[in-house]
Every structure is written in C-alpha cells, then in structure tokens.
Structure 1
Amino acid sequence: MAAMNLNRKKQRVDELAATTGARVEGNVDAGGIKDAEGVSLLASAWRRLRRNPAFLIGAVVVVLFVLVALFAPVLTGHDPSTRYLIGEVSQQNNPVPKARPGFPLGGDPVGRDLYARLVFGARNTLLVAVLATLTGFVGGLILGSLAGAFGGWVDSVVMRVVDIMLSLPSLLLAFSIAALFGRASQWSVILAVGIAQIPIFARLLRGAMMAQRHSDHVLAARSLGVKPGSIVLRHMLPNSLSPVLVQATMVVATSIIDAAALSYIGAGNADDTQPEWGQMLGQAQNLIDSYPHLAVYPAICIIVVALGFTLMGESLREALDPKSRR
C-alpha cells in the first residue's frame, strides 16, 4: 500500500514537471503568466492613480482652484476692495445688496462685490497655504535631516523638541505663535501655520532616513570611504523625500483650514482689502441669521478645496506605498 502511494506521488511530480516544461517552452512561466516588461515606481503608481476616482476628483478640484487663483482678474471685472454698492448699503432696509446683473452673488455689508471677493480670496488662500506648507517643509527638512543623519544625542534633542510641539494641537500651536506677533498680518498667519506643521515633516523624514541608514547602498558607500555629508545629501536624503512630498499635499489642506480658523477668530490678516475665505467667514458671523449666504459661500469653498487636496494626497500615498499594491 505504501509502495502504491509512493508511485502515485512520483507520477504526479512527473506530470507537474512535464506541464512546467511545456509552459516554459511556450514562453509562459510556471504560474501561467506571460513575461511582461518591468515598469518604474512612478509608472506603476500612475497606472493606479488614473483608475482611482478619488484621485481624479481631487485633482480636478485642485486644478480648478489653482486656475481660479491664477486668473482671478480675468474671471471678474471688479476690484474686491471697491465699494460699488455702498449707496444701497446706506439704506436701513437693505444692509446687504442682493444679486443683480454684474453682481451674481450680490454684495457684502459694505457694498463690495461678493463674487469678486470669493475669487480673489482663492488667490490669497492659495498663497497662504502654499507658503505655510513650504515653511513647514523646510523646517521639517532641517530637523528631520539632522536627527536621521546623525542619530545619538542629536536625534534625542531634536525629537524631544518635536514631541513637545506635537503635544499641542496644530491649531492651538498656530494660535499661540500668531499671538506672539504684535500686529496680525498675512505673513504672521503664514509663519504661525508653517511653524505648526514643522514637527509633522520632521518626524516623517527622520523615520525615512533612519530606515535608509542601514540600506545596502548606504553601507556600500561607507565601505568605499565616501564622506558622511555626501552619503546624507546624495544617498539618504533623496531616497527619503517621497513620503514627505506626498505628505505635503495633505498638509496644504490642513494649512487652508488652520489659516481660515485663525482668520475666523481674529488672529489672521486684519486688512480686508486682501480678501481671504476664513476672514470672510469671520466677518459674516454677525449677520449669519439674516444673511447666511455670506458665510455659506466661503465655507463651501474651504471645504471643497481642502477635500480636494486630501483626496489627492491620500491617493498618492496609497499608490506609492508598496504595502498597498495588489
């Protein structure tokens, strides 16, 4: 009985070997899949992204937002700070002008074109969000590079500073930094929001560089006598930037929300000749019962744009993450 079972197993192995050999001769591997040309990480990520509805929706929102910000003067023929409808505002029974030809969304409480302020608000919102993200990225790049490259006591000191900053909510930290400035302005908002984002970039970059310290190409460079500075700048840092750049896309959304929150509570830019969505939202709170559209329009803009950056950032992270590939 044992001999019969052994003969059956040998026969089965011979059949599998013959089948495998036939597949190899037909240019098919053992799994029955034809040989395919290899693709790069970016090409593979793009193949997944272009079939991802979340990424496409986010990309469309972001592109439209950037185009509106860049071509704001073309999209509206009115200046956002000129009081075109001030004559009607002076009437006690008409504190907020209604929509009419030339003013599709009407005016604000001081007679300025609400549509023009929303369009130009996209430009200032984009400026604040991008510059704040760059501030956080540069600061995090410096701290994360120091911690990841040197390790030891340098890593301990930098990470303790980062932990202290992370112990506070980003909005509370941004408000505390903004309060240090004598007079609130657009630049104070940029610096406050940007500094609050530094620990996110620093911790992410430090983790990526720590993983690179023991990689084969870094060990090979050390064995060849390459200087530590060159190893960090030419080998470790470039290979650690991918997750940080993806994170920057999502930080733009956070920066938009934090900047709007600072402006809403009065810690933002006090110059209303430079409209910004959070500033408009704060100015509308006294009239929200009678004229809710003054707050609804900028709120919708903030939500949609922040959602667009978040969808695009999450899709990029999943597409570039080897663990999420199928």
Structure 2
Amino acid sequence: MTPHPMGRKKERIDDLARSGSTAVLERTDEAGAVKDSEGVSLLASAWRRLRRNPMFLFGLAIVAIFLFVAIFAPLLARHNPGTQYLISQVTPNTPIPPAQPGFPLGGDDQGRDLLSRLIWGSRQTLMVGVGATIAGLLGGLILGTLAGALGGWVDSVVMRIVDVMLSVPSLLLAVSVAVLFGQASQWTVILAIGIAQVPIFARLLRGSMLAQRGSDHVLAARALGVRERSIVFRHMLPNSLGPVLVQATMVVATSIIDAAALSFLGLGNPDDSSPEWGQMLGNSEQFIDTYPHMAFYPAICIIVVALGFTLVGESLREALDPKSRR
C-alpha cells in the first residue's frame, strides 16, 4: 500500500526537526566547552606580540647591525683608524681628502680613513652607551631598593635627593659632573652620564617596589615569618626589575646622545686615535660649511642607532605593560 503523500511529508519534517535539534544541542555543547590548552608565560605572550610588531622588528634590526659592526670592527675596517694614510693630500686648499679607491668616504683633516673611523667609532660609542647605562642602573638599584624596601625617613631622604637631581636637566647635570673631573676621558664621560641617569632608575624601581609591598605573596611571606631581607631580595626586588630593565633599553639611546653632546662640547675623550661618533662630530665643526659630510656621517649614525634602541624599548614596554597592550 502506497503511503499517503501528506504522511511522507510529515515524516520528512519530523526527521529534519530531530536532526536539527540534535545539531543545535551539539553546537550548544561545543560552545559551552572549554578547550584544554597549556598556559602561556608573560615573556612568551610578550614575544608573540613583539614578533608581529613591525616597529620592534625594525628597531631590533638596527640594534643587531650596530652590535655586529661594533663587535667585529677589527675585521670590517680595512684601515687603522689612527694611521694618516692620506696626509700627503691634506693641503691648505684641500684640507679634507676626497673619496678615492680604497677610501670610499675619503679622509679627515689628518688624512685618516673616514670609513674605518666610523666603524671603530661604533665600538667606542657602544662602550660609552652601555657603560653609562650600567652605571646609572647600579646607582638607581641601590637608591630605589633603599627607598622602596625600608620606607619611612629613609624613603623621604632618598627621594628628596632624587627630586633635586631630577630638577636639573640630565645633559646639564652630566656637563656639571664632567667638569668636576680634572682631565676628560672616556671613563669620565661614562660616569657623568651614568650619574645623570641614576634618578630615573631610582624613582622607577622605588615605585615598583612600593607596589610589591602590598601584594599577596609578600603579605603571605610576612605572615609565615620570612625575614625582611629575604622578602626584599627574593620576592620584591626580582618582581620589580621588569620595568627597570625595559627603561634601561631606552636609556642606552639617551646615553649615546648625551655622550655625543659631551664630546661635541669638548668634555669627552681627547684622544682621537680611538674615534667616537660624538668626538668625530665635534672635530667636524670647523668644516661644516665646506665639507658637511664630515658631520653628516657621524650624526646619521648617532640618530639611527638611538632610534633603534628607542623603538626596541618602547615596543618592550608596550608588550609587557597590560595597560598599553594593543
């Protein structure tokens, strides 16, 4: 017996309804389910954002090239930076030897290869920038730890000293400190710039440590009777160093610029047999009108390297700071 057409349609509608309700239930179960996945650390999460950030990659490329040139300067430079290869071409009418085979950028006013001096200058600039940053970081760690860990009158005294140092522009403070030394050298530049950077690190570390003092793990350690020294150096200080280390990356750029300014003002290393970009920039002042390339090359090197460290530091800060994540 042939089923009635209306009966077949009703059975088909019932089948579709049952299959549809089953699909809806399956989708509902999938929507409410939570997939099992491994946790991601803060550094791994930050790296995921950094590797998609074109500004970070651009800055990292600049820093990597700068470090490569500074480390392998003896292999990359074709000539000794202190040897006067082109001294015979230095005349009153032509004080700067032009570019020629073997000397693509020409020479300076003493007949030394300009390109080799730029390459060797990257090493001296790196030493000054990193050395000044480390000096400022160590001083800031001492003052910031004292203020953030002890609090009370120690915090008040330390922060008043920091406020006085911050009231003076960093470059002016560095110049004042450099003048106090009897004879200018590379180490006096490092110390002068490092002292000028101390209050920046001290204030930043102090604020981070104050935020850690009221955290749950510090309160739990105190409740368990852990000694205050262990709480400071094992709980508070390690968890407060993140923003300070990120700031150190940007301070390297500031230190390089300040070192160039001190050398330009004549407060840098007077020995030009070991070239430094700021020193080269200062020596080119008398030729700026007739031979502007003498100032252009070291200036563009300083600008590009400072830009690279700044981009890396800003990208790290945004990646590690939850408030500024994009």
Give the TM-score of the pair, scaled to structure 2. 0.91
Q: Which amino acid aligns with 2:183?
A: R
Tell me the residue number matched to 1:15: none
- Residues 141 and 205 in structure 1, CA contact (< 8 A), matched pair in contact too: yes
Kindly state the Cα deviation for residue 38 of structure 1 after the two structures are TM-superposed: 2.5
Task: After TM superposition, list the pairs within 5 Å mapping 1:287-306 onto structure 2.
Answer: 287-306=287-306
Larger radius of gyration: 2
Kindly state the Cα deviation for residue 92 of structure 1 after the two structures are TM-superposed: 2.5
> Identical aligned pairs, as a percentage?
72
Q: Deviations over 1:9-62 (max 9, x none)?
A: xxxxxxxxxx99865632x348xx856432111111000000001100000000
Q: Deviations over 1:262-294 (max 9, x none)?
A: 000111111111100011001101110000000
Kindly state the Cα deviation for residue 94 of structure 1 after the two structures are TM-superposed: 1.7
Tell me the residue number matched to 1:53: 54
Kindly state the Cα deviation for residue 200 of structure 1 after the two structures are TM-superposed: 0.4
Distance 1:29 1:128 in 2: 58
2:105 equivalent to 1:113: no
Q: Which amino acid aligns with 2:102?
A: G
Distance 2:57 2:87 in 1: 42
- Residues 49 and 55 in structure 1, CA contact (< 8 A), matched pair in contact too: yes
RMSD: 1.7
5+ residue gaps, structure 1, are: 1-18
- Residues 149 and 209 in structure 1, CA contact (< 8 A), matched pair in contact too: yes
Distance 1:21 1:283 in 2: 79
Distance 1:210 1:249 in 2: 23
2:90 equivalent to 1:104: no
Q: Deviations over 1:95-130 (max 9, x none)?
A: 110111111100001100000110000000000000
Kindly state the Cα deviation for residue 81 of structure 1 after the two structures are TM-superposed: 0.7
Structure 1 residue matching 2:260: 3-state secondary structure: helix
Task: After TM superposition, list the pairs within 5 Å mapping 1:1-326 onto structure 2.
Answer: 25-26=29-30, 28-29=31-32, 36-89=37-90, 91-326=91-326
Q: Which of structure 1's runs of 4+ aligned residues deviate more than 4 A?
A: 19-24, 33-36
Aligned residues: 305
Distance 1:21 1:155 in 2: 62
Distance 1:94 1:124 in 2: 29
5+ residue gaps, structure 2, are: 1-22
Distance 1:21 1:132 in 2: 65
Structure 1 residue matching 2:184: 3-state secondary structure: coil
Give the TM-score of the pair, scaled to structure 1. 0.91
Kindly state the Cα deviation for residue 323 of structure 1 after the two structures are TM-superposed: 1.2
Kindly state the Cα deviation for residue 76 of structure 1 after the two structures are TM-superposed: 1.3
